[in-house]
């Protein structure tokens, strides 16, 4: 069962250099394919033939044309969607502020739902959802439309209207998708807070965006137990004076306290509501959502996205990168609490009229084959996950996927961090049976949609490289000092030279920070925060963050955020955290901690500090290692030298350049600091 049932050589993805015999090519009028780079995995002929973009020549033509006139290119894409009123100008660019489709009026909820109701898609599954306990719900486009309308009417009845912020703190239930589509329908701005975050994270975010309502669930299922979401919301709302109403969706059935006048059961609220609610025609630049992401300093940044451009970007990239077809079951395993879920569970796939699979729980509940069971049960065709998940699958063993029929799969994807080539090859062989192309998609919360990625029917892939920019996207690897492109093969900063529709419009309430973080490193270009190399074939290799952000299991955590959580503990004087390579999570957090006078280090305190960080931020931010030290290495200007800490944590004998270190004796002390 492990192997694909039939081994059809033609349908396999070949390695261009290593293929022993040249593959028989159908003799026809088609021009021969351009030579793929040596060692690259060429898309199977059978895949390319049916793909939206069928060859490198086609991709190159698209990219070339988009380069000649990006605005015309993007306007052509936007025209495939519904607009209540046309725009007068595709782009107004006053760097760093972009306005796309100026004057146009549209609605993303309309484009995800109503647009399909007059077509064959009306009775097609929009969402196929599987709960962790094994319950399954399918919502057709018509049914999803009705649910969204009812909830939109309910929100209105609570006084939520255009421009109001709605915080969302839910598990992965269909109502989460319904909530954000309902907000989009009436022009309310949603801000989803990942259900794994704790009270303080909700408080900070609600404060920052001044949310008026919060939508939650009684609880969420996670590995067979209930995560009490409503309880966390109750603690948070005590410190959130702007919240007028709390809507509670019943999922786990645990007891919750309902605060009269403030709290409302979802099912009671929607019971009396009509199943129609006209989508409000919204300005293309009307705010769609705010999603918080960690920064290298202080509080999280509220990444602000607007309607028309984000819609256009997620629509096109879903279509081209996932090569969506009407008959596909497409599954992105992310949580809607992250941008991946916003763009590639909800908005992008639904704007394309696709069937989007949604799973509630953990990948290893009740057993490590849960994902493969889901793929077999629902005959999933396109599967999009993260390298950290793939590394966990490898650790759990290939016997789990091998137990299941994965022959429905035709395309695989990854996102979140660079994928190591070994994991790529395992994914390709064990999950894709060497038959499915892999799209390694590079993008960010800030970019809104995928920027650098193979097109599965066109691009020969090199394991570990996100390959090339999508049409309409113009990244470059540049020198930090000059801002000019570095020679091929050399590392530099990854920037984007031209505006694109789904780019962030700013940091909510902090235009100065927006300019400082993204627009000051390289004059006139968007700075991604990532380092990269472009090779001689034009392939981009993303190295990772160059700032103080640590990516743990694909989640962005700011060093400052974790440090301030540590320092908020009564025993801690000062803390510095760094990312250390970790087999499972990509990076793990290591913390160097100095204690206040009279406080004694010890294992009990280590555990206490770990629990403290988990409580303050959430379990993903929990340091894996804590080291107590007498002092931290600092520059003369007082900046913590994380580079040195990294060397120490990784056990390097040779410590890097220490010429700016203020107190050399610290190094010796740090080396003595015990690990664990
Ligand atoms: C950062 C963005 C975009 C959704 C998930 C994370 C890293 C993301 C890749 C990839 C190498 C990647 C980058 C990026 N990253 N995808 N395919 N290859 N690195 O969103 O939390 O905003 O993080 O994730 O460092 O800047 P995010």
For the segment 97-129, what is each residue's pLDDT rounded down to a tens digit?
A: 999 999 999 999 999 999 999 999 999 999 999
> Contact, 123 vs 104, CB < 8 A?
no
- Any ligand 1 atom below 6 A from CB of 417: yes
Q: Are strands 105-106 and 125-130 parallel, antiparallel or unpaired?
A: unpaired
Does pLDDT of 5 surpass 60?
no
| Average pLDDT for the chain | 91
- Dihedral pair phi/psi, residue 610, rounded to 5°: -60, -45
Using DSSP, state whether 622 is helix, strand or coil.
Answer: coil
The beta-strand segments (E) located in 218-344 are: 220-222, 225-227, 245-249, 263-265, 282-283, 287-293, 301-306, 329-332
Cβ of residue 442 lying under 6 Å from some atom of ligand 1: yes
> Minimal CA–CA distance to 467: which of 558, 533, 420, 515?
533
Compute, in angstroms, the gap from residue 416 CA to the centroid of ligand 1: 4
- Those residues whose C-beta lies under 8 Å from the C-beta of residue 172, and which sit 6 or more positions away, are 195, 220, 335, 336, 358, 359, 360, 361
The answer on pLDDT for 130 being more than 60 is yes
Inform me whether the pLDDT recorded for 618 exceeds 80: yes
166 phi and psi angles, rounded to 5 deg: -120, 120
Cβ neighbors of 134 (< 8 A, separation 6 or more) are none
- Beta carbon of 335 within 6 Å of any ligand 1 atom: no
Q: What is the pLDDT of residue 296?
A: 58
Strands 549-552 and 555-558 turn out to be antiparallel
- CA 442 to ligand 1 centroid distance, Å: 6
Is it the case that residue 672 has pLDDT exceeding 90? Answer: no
Q: Is the pLDDT of residue 230 over 80?
A: yes
616: containing domain: 553-672
- Report the pLDDT value the prediction gives residue 25, as an integer from 0 to 100: 47
> Quick one: pLDDT band at residue 596, thresholds 50, 70, 90?
confident
Query: Distance between CA atoms of 477 and 483, rounded to whole angstroms?
Result: 9
Alpha carbon of 551 to ligand 1 centroid (Å): 8
Distances, alpha carbon 142 to alpha carbons 274, 276, 380, in Å: 14, 11, 22
Q: Whose CA is nearest to atom 2 of ligand 1?
A: 444
What's the confidence (pLDDT) of residue 17? Answer: 46
Is position 463 within any domain? Answer: no
Question: In sequence order, which residues have a C-beta less than 8 Å from that of residue 297 and are 6 or more positions away?
Answer: 548, 558, 560
**CATH number for the domain including 655?**
3.30.300.30
**What was the pLDDT predicted at 23?**
46
Residues in the chain: 676
Residue 353, pLDDT score: 98
Q: Indicate which atom in ligand 1 lies nearest the CA of residue 542.
A: 11
Residue nearest atom 11 of ligand 1, based on CA coordinates: 418
For ligand 1, atom 27: residue with the closest CA: 444
Q: Can you tell me the mean pLDDT for 25-44?
A: 71
Output the CA torsion sign for 425, 51, 322, 59. Answer: positive
Q: Please check the confidence at residue 464 and state whether its pLDDT lies above 50.
A: yes
Measured CA to CA, the distance from residue 133 to residue 184 in angstroms comes to 30
pLDDT value, residue 6: 39
> What pLDDT was estimated at residue 429?
98
- Is the CB of 461 inside a 6 Å radius of any atom of ligand 1? no
Query: Helices 141-157 and 174-186: crossing angle, nearest 10°?
Result: 60
> Phi, psi at residue 359, to the nearest 5°?
-120, 140
Residue bearing tokens 């239930």: 173
Looking at residue 33, its pLDDT comes to 52
| pLDDT at position 240 over 90 | yes
Q: Look up the pTM and report it.
A: 0.86
Is residue 126 within 8 A of residue 142, CB to CB? The reply is no
pLDDT of 19? 35
How large is the average pLDDT for residues 543-551?
81
614 part of a folded domain: yes
Q: What is the pLDDT of residues 484-528, one digit of tens each?
A: 999 999 989 999 999 999 999 999 999 999 999 999 999 999 999
466 C-alpha to ligand 1 centroid (Å): 11
Q: Where are the beta strands (DSSP E) in 411-454?
A: 411-415, 438-441
CB neighbour list of residue 516: distance below 8 Å, 6 or more residues apart: none
Continuous segment of H or E residues that includes residue 140: strand 136-140
- pLDDT for res 675: 47
Rounded average pLDDT over 594-600 = 87
Cα–Cα distance for residue pair 639/193, rounded to 1 Å: 31
Give dist(CA 487, CA 351) in Å, integer. Answer: 39
Q: In the structure, what pLDDT confidence band is assigned to residue 559 with cuts at 50, 70 and 90?
A: confident
pLDDT confidence of residue 574:
81
CB of 331 closer than 8 Å to CB of 324: no
Determine the pLDDT at residue 489: 94
Whether 29 shows a pLDDT value over 60: the answer reads no
Ligand 1 center to 619 CA (angstroms): 20
**Helices and strands: H and E segment counts in the chain:** 22, 32
Q: What percent of the chain has pLDDT over 70?
A: 90
pLDDT of residue 418: 87
The answer on pLDDT for 4 being more than 50 is no
* Nearest CA among 477, 552, 559 for reference residue 522: 477
- 523-533 residue pLDDT tens: 999 999 999 99
Helix (H, G, I), strand (E, B) or coil at 43: coil
Give the residue whose CA is nearest to atom 17 of ligand 1. 442
- Residue of the nearest CA to atom 14 in ligand 1? 444
In a domain, 436, yes or no: no
Which of 442, 470, 529, 546, when mutated, tests ligand 1's pocket best, judged by the most ligand atoms within 8 Å of its CB?
442
Higher pLDDT, 575 or 411: 411
Does residue 384 register a pLDDT over 70? yes
Residue 528 alpha carbon, nearest atom of ligand 1: 26
The 10s digit of each residue's pLDDT in 619-662 is 989 999 999 988 888 765 566 777 788 877 776 655 555 555 55
Q: How far apart are CA 249 and CA 169, in angstroms?
A: 11
pLDDT over 70 (residue 554): yes
pLDDT of residue 151: 98
Lowest mean pLDDT among 108-112, 167-171, 391-395, 609-613: 391-395
Pocket of ligand 1 contains residue 473 by CB under 6 Å? no
For ligand 1, atom 20, which residue shows the shortest CA distance?
A: 444
Query: Which tens digits make up the pLDDT trace of 241-265?
Result: 999 999 999 999 999 999 999 999 9
- What is the three-class DSSP state of 91? strand
Q: What does the pLDDT look like over 87-98, one tens digit per residue? A: 999 999 999 999
> Is 465 a pocket residue for ligand 1 (Cβ < 6 Å)?
no
Residue 20: predicted pLDDT: 39
Cβ atoms of residues 180 and 228 within 8 Å: no
Pocket test for ligand 1, best of 342, 346, 441, 444 (most atoms within 8 A of CB): 444
Number of domains in the chain: 1
| pLDDT of the residue at 297 | 59
Give a yes or no: residue 564 inside a domain.
yes
Q: What angle do CA 556, 562, 568 make, to 5 degrees?
A: 155
Decide: 416 in ligand 1 pocket, CB within 6 A. yes
| Span 652-664, pLDDT tens digits | 655 555 555 556 5
Q: How far is the CA of 446 from the centre of ligand 1 (A)?
A: 10
Distance CA 68, CA 41 (A): 30
What pLDDT is stored for residue 276 in this prediction? 98
> What pLDDT, on the 0 to 100 scale, is given for residue 670?
67
Residue 345: per-residue pLDDT: 98
Residue 627 lies in a domain: yes
| Residue 569 in domain | yes
């Amino acid at each position: 069962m492990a192997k694909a049932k039939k081994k059809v050589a033609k349908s396999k993805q070949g390695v261009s250099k290593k293929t022993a015999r040249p593959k028989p090519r159908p003799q026809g009028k088609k021009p021969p394919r351009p030579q793929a780079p040596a060692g690259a995995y060429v898309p199977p002929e059978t895949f390319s033939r049916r793909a939206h973009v069928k060859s490198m020549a086609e991709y190159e033509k698209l990219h070339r044309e988009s380069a000649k006139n990006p605005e015309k290119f993007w306007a052509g894409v936007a025209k495939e969607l519904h607009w209540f009123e046309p725009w007068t100008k595709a782009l107004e660019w006053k760097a760093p502020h972009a306005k796309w489709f100026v004057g146009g009026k549209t609605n993303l909820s309309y484009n995800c739902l109503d647009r399909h109701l007059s077509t064959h898609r009306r009775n097609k599954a929009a969402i196929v959802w599987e709960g962790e306990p094994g319950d399954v719900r399918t919502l057709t486009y018509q049914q999803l439309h009705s649910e969204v309308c009812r909830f939109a009417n309910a929100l209105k009845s609570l006084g939520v209207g255009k421009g109001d912020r709605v915080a969302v703190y839910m598990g992965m239930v269909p109502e989460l998708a319904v909530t954000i589509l309902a907000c989009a329908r009436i022009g309310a701005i949603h801000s989803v807070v990942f259900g794994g975050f704790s009270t303080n994270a909700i408080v900070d975010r609600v404060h920052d965006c001044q949310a008026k309502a919060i939508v939650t669930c009684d609880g969420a299922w996670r590995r067979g137990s209930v995560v009490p979401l409503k309880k966390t919301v109750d603690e948070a709302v005590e410190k959130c004076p702007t919240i007028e109403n709390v809507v509670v969706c019943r999922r786990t059935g645990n007891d919750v306290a309902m605060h009269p006048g403030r709290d409302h059961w979802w099912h009671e609220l929607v019971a009396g509501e009509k199943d129609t609610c006209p989508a409000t025609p919204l300005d293309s630049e009307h705010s769609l959502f705010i999603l918080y992401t960690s920064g290298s300093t202080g509080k999280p940044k509220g990444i602000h996205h607007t309607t028309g451009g984000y819609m256009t970007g997620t629509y096109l990239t879903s279509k081209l990168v996932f090569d969506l077809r009407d008959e596909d079951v497409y599954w992105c395993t992310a949580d809607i609490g992250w941008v991946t879920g916003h763009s590639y569970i909800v908005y992008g796939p639904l704007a394309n009229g696709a069937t989007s699979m949604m799973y509630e729980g953990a990948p290893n509940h009740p057993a490590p084959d849960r994902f493969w069971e889901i793929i077999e049960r629902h005959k999933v065709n396109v599967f999009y996950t993260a390298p950290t998940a793939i590394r966990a699958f490898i650790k759990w063993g290939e016997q789990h996927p091998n137990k299941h029929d994965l022959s429905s799969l035709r395309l695989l994807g990854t996102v979140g961090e660079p994928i190591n080539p070994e994991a790529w090859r395992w994914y390709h062989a064990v999950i894709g049976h060497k038959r499915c192309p892999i799209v390694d998609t590079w993008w960010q919360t800030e970019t809104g949609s995928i920027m650098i990625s193979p097109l599965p029917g066109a691009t020969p892939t090199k394991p570990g490289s996100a390959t090339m920019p999508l049409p309409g996207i113009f990244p470059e690897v540049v020198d930090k000092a000059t801002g000019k492109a570095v020679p091929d093969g050399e590392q530099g900063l990854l920037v984007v030279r031209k505006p694109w529709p789904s780019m962030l419009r700013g940091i909510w309430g902090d235009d100065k920070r927006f300019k400082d973080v993204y627009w000051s490193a390289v004059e006139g270009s968007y700075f991604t925060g990532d380092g990269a190399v472009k090779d001689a074939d034009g392939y981009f290799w993303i190295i990772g963050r160059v700032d103080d952000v640590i990516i743990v299991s694909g989640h962005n955590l700011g060093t400052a955020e974790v440090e301030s959580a540590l320092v908020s503990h009564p025993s801690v004087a000062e803390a510095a955290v760094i990312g250390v390579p970790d087999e499972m999570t990509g990076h793990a957090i290591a913390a160097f901690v100095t204690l206040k006078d009279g406080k004694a280090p010890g294992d009990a305190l280590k555990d206490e500090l770990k629990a403290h960080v988990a409580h303050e931020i959430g379990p993903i931010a929990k340091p894996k290692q804590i080291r107590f030290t007498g002092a931290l290495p600092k520059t003369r200007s007082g900046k913590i030298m994380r580079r040195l800490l990294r060397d120490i944590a990784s056990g390097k004998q040779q410590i890097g350049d220490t010429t700016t270190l203020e107190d050399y004796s610290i190094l010796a002390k740090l080396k003595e600091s015990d690990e664990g």
